[in-house]
Structure 1
Amino acid sequence: MTADSNLKLQATPTAIPEVLILESKVFGDNRGWFTESFNANDFAKATGLNVQFVQDNHSFSRQWTLRGMHYQLKHTQGKLVRVTSGAVFDVAVDVRKDSSTFGEWVGVELSADNHKQMWVPPGFAHGFLVLSETAEFLYKTTDYYDPTSEACLSWCDPTVKIDWPIPLGKQALLNAKDAAGLAWDVAPKF
């Protein structure tokens, strides 16, 4: 990773160093703005990673929708995630048994306004909470979706203790799969 101010893309490690916050240069004037949201060469230079993305996903969600905490046991996916409309609180949980940050989580606000992206490496459960009225969430993956190897960690597991920014009196909107996420003690790990 580099802090070279001449690069179009800056990568900053989070409290879990393998999870990165990426910020590309945004060029704006009175007409609006332009940014290069992905460039393989710049990504490799900024992160030191040589990955190939094979699938793009795009979701639309309403406020307080919580999607997660998903991961795949086979065909593990690295994910480069961003928001193109609205804002989300994005979270990664380390499920790698041999990691010094095993069981820890990091979260960051991603929004259309801040243009931040997050790199979530393979071996992490991932999810997000929609903070704005609606949000569009895009992510690139390093492997294809495989429903037969998908796992879901409980978003509200008392061992992991993710501090979701849900206001008092509001509830997360979940689908059945996410509501039935597995407790940390029984969720499969890498």
Structure 2
Amino acid sequence: MAQTAVVYFSGYGHTKRAAEVAAQSAGAALIEIDAEGNILESDWDTLDQADAILFGTPTYMGSAAWQFKKFADATSKKWFTRAWQDKVFGGFTNSASLNGDKQVTLIFLQTLASQHGGIWVSLGLPPANTKAATRQDTNNLGGSVGALVQSPSDAGADEMSTGDLETLKQYAARVAGIAVRLHG
């Protein structure tokens, strides 16, 4: 059975809830990047042993949070030894705006995975783009590179869109399932 890990940073709790939903759906280990951009030493071992890694970060000012970027920079030690070569990767991001330049963050995550020689998994869900579509539909934000989540700035983590969370559940299960197919 392939192992999956979700590594994330959350500033206000919304991305944490998204990460928890993803981890539960994928049967994954959950690794939190702290407020200083660090993870535990044992977390590096978990990531090394994982067959699939999902990255999660809020989108702040059109890119990943600086704490996630610090983590990403620290992965250069893994890059140098090709420790994550051929792992399966996916990513998700959350912002207060419907768009919020989340695509830029996903491309950052996809690039990070590619630099490690990883295999990026697309969302694999059609967009909910009809007049009848609501925020409760899966992929209502119309992503394709990874999962997009939107949380209004004045809403608590318990008020997140069920459609966004369902999108994330399906995506995390897809990433984990592809890892099983590739790595057993």
Q: Provide the TM-score with structure 1 as the length reference.
A: 0.31
Bigger helix fraction: 2
TM-score by length of 2: 0.31
Q: Which has the larger radius of gyration?
A: 1
